[in-house]
A and B are shown apart, each in its own frame.
Chain A
Amino acid sequence: MSEQSNWKEFSKGLFKYNALFVLVLGICPSLAVTTSLKNGISMGGAATFVLISSNFIVSIIRPYVPREIRIPCFIVVIAAFVTIVELMMKAYLPTELNASLGIFIPLIVVNCIILYRAESFAYKNKPFVSILDGAGIGLGWTLSLCLVSGIREVLGAGTLFGLKLSKHYEPASVMIMAPGAFIVLGLLMGFFNWRKLQKKEKSMMVYKKDD
């Protein structure tokens, strides 16, 4: 396989098939843990690790897995890697970070993104390409988590990465609570839709001119 198509498999996950804003998958953790940038990055990292490893294993075992029982097999593979991640995070990361991610680390098992990539990509493709796909989709999801959590932390706590931005800004704490999460994600999705519509309109105009 050429270098160019490898790059394509990786980069499609970043924007074209962005898990959060285009595919709209994995919403629960994207809203629950994005109260600060640090939480967003850790959650994205954990899910990306699980995604890459499960894609790799699924694409290796795919000749031996019958179609009828593939979903339970995928879930067991994913659950094994989630357990690894959970134990590693408990051992090496600070306790307050673990406490704020809470049950959403074990809940990576039921994150639709991972099962979706296993089913629709890794089950049909070779190991190397599957790793690239997992890395791309995972990185795209992490980037969108950073965007949501950055906005929420700046507006809701007046800080970024724990550093205070301005002493004149009175934080609107509703943004780091449940309603803020829904509204920020809704407006961001609306913004990306607006950009897409604008681009489409522009290309239509060019097309008309050519006529």
Chain B
Amino acid sequence: MIKEIALIIVSLVFVNNFVLAKFLGLCPFLGVSQKTSSAFGMGAAVTFVMTLASAITWILYNYILLPGDMNIVGMVFPSVGETGLIEVLKTISYILIIATLVQLLEMMLRKMVPALYDSLGVYLPLITTNCAVLGVALLNTTDSPQHLGFIEATVQGFGGGIGFTVAILLMSGIRERLVLINIPKPLQGLPIAFICTGLMALAFFGFSGMVK
């Protein structure tokens, strides 16, 4: 079991990195990677939300959306148990869960860990519109090739978050040095950041085939 979990994490950090291979979560990746300190804060917050979101959406998917005997709504309304709610409610319920989760996290952090809350600042509410969070929820449940267990789904969320943190930390290191370099004027700012990300993705390509 531990071997499988380690394998999922390694594959999500190096081979199927959410940012560099699956193009998820690019907005915060480019928006918050100017400084290493804020990049680390963003990475930590995204990892936390992704882990919790994949755990909760897995429960929602298996016990409320999916048709079958496990469906809780189906116990009250038998017709829902036969058809399930997956087609119509998937997107809305996931995004509402993530938005609520981020709001809850914000309130909890403000009460319990004010130091972390201050350092995350405006990035915390922005996580709601981070497509990596909704992406991992969808990849764990509806768009997964096989049915994942609860632990696998949660680990996938955690691993995806770690992969995001690694990518954004590397990127912030590069961008802190880019400031000092003489770059042609039209390429300054975002264009050169995109090209650097492309080269990073190319480097991460070297890991492909290491884990299936």
List the interface of chain A (C-beta within 8 A of B). 24-25, 27-29, 31-32, 72, 75-76, 79-80, 82-83, 86-87, 102-103, 106-107, 109-112, 115, 174, 177-183, 185-187, 189-191, 193-194, 197
Contacts and interface: CB of A to CB of B under 8 A. Distances in A.
Contacts, number: 121
12 contacts: A24-B30, A27-B30, A28-B131, A83-B90, A106-B134, A107-B135, A109-B95, A110-B128, A182-B201, A190-B191, A193-B185, A197-B186
Interface in B24-49: 24-27, 30
Contact of A186 (B129, B139, B195, B202): B195
Given A83-B88, A106-B90, A27 B26 contact: yes
B131 A110 contact: yes
B199 interface: yes
B91 A178 contact: no
Contacts of B193: 186
Among A76, A79, A180, A191, max chain B CB count under 10 A is at A79
A24 B87 CA distance: 31
B71 interface: no
Where chain B touches its partner, the secondary structure class is helix
Interface of B: 20-27, 30, 87-88, 90-92, 95-96, 99, 128-131, 134-135, 138-139, 143, 184-188, 190-195, 197-199, 201-202, 205
A75 B100 CA distance: 12
Nearest to A82: B91
Interface centre among A28, A31, A82 (most CB of B within 10 A): A28
Contacts of A174: 202
Given A103-B143, A110-B95, A28 B190 contact: no
Given A178-B21, A186-B195, A190-B187, A83 B91 contact: yes
A79 B194 contact: no
A15 B205 CA distance: 35
Interface of A is mostly: helix
Contact of A178 (B20, B87, B129, B192): B20
B91 A186 contact: no
B201 A102 contact: no
A83 B92 contact: yes
Contacts of A82: 91
A187 B195 contact: yes
B195 A28 contact: no
Given A27-B26, A110-B129, A193 B202 contact: no
Nearest to B189: A193
Contacts of A32: 22-24
Contacts of B88: 83, 87
A72 B129 CA distance: 11
Contacts of A24: 30, 190
B95 A75 contact: yes
A191 B191 CA distance: 9
A23 to B, nearest CB: 11
